């Protein structure tokens, strides 16, 4: 396993574009909120750490991960430089997991292809709650932090 005993969320601020003038939208799923709040915290803290002002961060909540697509589409219209879509889908006993994961990943991909504002995929798709905890501020770091750094880099590319 590639993440065994590794915290993957460390970043070198000297390699990240200046983010002080960028605006970011963060769309957060309320489903599995223990996980999504941890991801949001990681993303928010990284943006602030990289010079983004609090007033340049917009947060919207949506009911679940599937709703991230519509929320992100509407957020793209809010004069932001990038959107971070935060969600958590945990494997259950039915195929619902597969349908949600496929739909969300394809929907966010479509937003990136069809529109000029990048949408960063920060949706955990874990087999267990423990795996999600480990990736939302636990032993493997915080994927929200990684998503924020990706958002800054994509905002810089967008120009």
Task: Report, as residue numbers or ranges, the catalytic residues.
Answer: 96
Rg (CA), the chain: 15
> The tokens of 136 are what?
């939302």
Tokens of 80: 């932001």
What is the C-alpha to C-alpha distance for residues 149 and 66, in angstroms, rounded to an integer? 23
Per DSSP, the residues of 77-114 read: TSS-SEEEEEEEEE--SSTHHHHHHHHHHHHHHHHHHH
Q: How many CA atoms lie within 13 A of 57 on its CB side?
A: 23
Closest to 65 in 3D by CA, of 97, 25, 110: 97
Q: Report the alpha-carbon distance of residue 31 to residue 21 in Å, rounded.
A: 31
């Amino acid at each position: 396993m590639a993440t065994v005993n590794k915290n993957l969320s460390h970043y070198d601020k000297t390699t990240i574009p200046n983010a002080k003038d960028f605006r970011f939208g963060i769309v957060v799923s309320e489903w599995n909120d223990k996980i999504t709040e941890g991801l949001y915290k990681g993303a928010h803290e990284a943006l602030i750490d990289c010079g983004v002002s609090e007033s340049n961060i917009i947060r919207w909540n949506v009911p679940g991960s599937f709703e991230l697509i519509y929320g992100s589409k509407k957020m793209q219209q809010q004069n932001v430089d990038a959107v971070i879509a935060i969600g958590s889908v945990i494997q259950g006993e039915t195929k619902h997991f597969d349908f949600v994961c496929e739909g969300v990943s394809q929907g966010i991909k479509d937003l990136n292809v069809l529109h000029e504002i990048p949408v960063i995929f920060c949706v955990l798709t874990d087999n267990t709650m423990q795996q999600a905890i480990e990736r939302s501020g636990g032993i493997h770091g915080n994927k929200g932090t990684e998503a924020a750094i990706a958002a800054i880099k994509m905002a810089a590319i967008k120009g």
